[in-house]
Amino acid sequence: MTLRWNKPNQAVRFDVYSSDDGDEWEQMLDDELTFSYDGESLRSGARHYRVVAIGADGAELDAAEVTTGGEPIADVIAHAESLPPEDYTKGSHYQLTKVLDEVKAQLDKPEHDEAALIDAIYDAVDALVSVDTLLQEVELEPSMVEASTIIWPGEGTKQENGWRAFDDDTGTFPDTLESVSWIDIEPGAERAVAIDAVRVYPRESHISRANGAIFQGSNDDGETWDDLLTVNGVGEARWYQFDLEERTDAYERLRIFDGHNGRCNLAEVEFLTQVDDTTMLTALVDEAAAIDRSQYTEDSLAVLDAAVEHGESVLADSAATQDEIDAASEDLLAAIDQLR
């Protein structure tokens, strides 16, 4: 919240006061030549401000008051509900939906603390975790990487040249001998992995050479290549992340193809793959463990226990797919709902 005002003629200094109730005032600025004041943004309720203009002789020339307020709770709820679930981990978004359900239930009661409910929503929104936290760098080894030529002007090996894009040093970069060149990455059939995003750091002295590099994948030993991404928009010496529109196939071979005389000058490259999202299932297992069992029937607890046991086995299974994880979450959610 920023308060701004104009300078009346003859005013040389300003005082600013704030108050929660309009009766008791606290001085925030004392005799300052400024035309704005940064106050704390309010989540709920109201706060009053009073700006006093002072003349050269120290006399009060003019004063004005304003009242600021937080958003109405309906707007806070609407904003929280408008956040796209796919941008966040399933578990963190589930916690937000639970808070919103609870807030709406409370709002129906005559004696509710609206400020506390608004705080609870803000806290749950703050606690959302970006889905980007599930992106993991694909681990490569020097033996998996090879450039199409040795290092310009005629040094090292093709492997050493290619590895310069993966050596975790933004000061080193592949530099090929030819205007059409490439870097091959061969994770192999067993380690073939689907790609969700690519991060790139350009060569600092030749930044624009990164633009035009084409990331490709092949599953027929390099006979044919699928284009996955063309780098563009790189203009500074920093990391750029390119999120692919959809997850690629799992490729046994990847290639960074440079047909624009950029000499494969990418100082660093990271292939990112999204790991399965177990946050919702984990949250539900924790929620089930915290349930007061004395409140429920043995039959309904038996259903819950079976769903928890299955959920824990899915969490422990490193080969479990996202569909299996989601199905276990739904079962567990239903088992919690059916408690009687």
Q: Which residues bind Ca ion (CB under 5 A)?
A: 164, 167-169, 172, 267-268
Quote the least distance from Cβ 167 to Ca ion, whole Å.
Answer: 5
- Smaller CB distance to Ca ion: residue 264 or 328? 264
User: How are beta strands 253-258 and 250-251 bridged, if at all?
Assistant: unpaired
* DSSP-assigned letter for residue 134: G
Q: Which is nearer to Ca ion, 164 or 209 (CB)?
A: 164
Q: How far apart are CA 64 and CA 70, in angstroms?
A: 21
Closest CB 247 distance from Ca ion, rounded Å = 20
Place of tokens 């509710």: 112
Taking CB positions, which residue lies at the least distance from Ca ion? 172
Place of tokens 């020339």: 61
CB of 168 to Ca ion, least distance (A): 5
DSSP codes joined into one string, 251-309: ESEEEEEE-SS-TT-EEEEEEEEEPP--HHHHHHHHHHHTS-GGGS-HHHHHHHHHHHH
To Ca ion, the closest distance from the beta carbon of 269 in angstroms equals: 8
Smallest distance from the beta carbon of 234 to Ca ion, in angstroms? 15
Residue with smaller CB distance to Ca ion, 73 or 151: 151
Rounded alpha-carbon distances, angstroms, from residue 287 to 103, 213, 261, 329, 335: 18, 47, 57, 12, 11
At 196, which amino acid appears?
Answer: D
Nearer residue to Ca ion within complex by CB, 167 or 324:
167
Angstrom distance (rounded) from CA 61 to CA 134: 59
Which residue in the block uniquely carries the two structure tokens 């086995």? 313
Specify the residue, 71 or 167, whose C-beta has the smaller distance to Ca ion: 167
Q: 35 or 239, CB closer to Ca ion? A: 239
Shortest separation between residue 264's beta carbon and Ca ion, angstroms: 11
